Amino acid sequence: MDEQMDRKKIRMATRQALEREDRKYWSCATFEEKLRTITYLRECFYGPQATTGRLQRIYTVFKQE
């Protein structure tokens, strides 16, 4: 680990300011970028089967009275 953190690029912000920046960023993001990010997060949390597998079908039959 020869690299050191560049302390000139550190910035302090409140949670509310960061949330505003996130909302502004995602409101301007393209559909493809949003979909790519959602796919990436699904793979991170649920594994590659979450994006390559098929949806499970569940049939429920209700009897009317």
pLDDT of residue 64: 83
pLDDT of residue 37: 94
- C-alpha to C-alpha distances, 32 to 40, 41, 42, 61, nearest whole angstrom: 12, 14, 15, 37
Residues in the chain, total: 65
pLDDT of residue 1: 54
Structure tokens at 52: 């390559």
Is the CB of residue 51 less than 8 Å from the CB of residue 44? no
The segments of the chain whose pLDDT lies below 50 read: none
Is the CB of residue 50 less than 8 Å from the CB of residue 43? yes
pLDDT of residue 11: 80
Tokens 């970028």 found at: 33
pLDDT of residue 27: 96
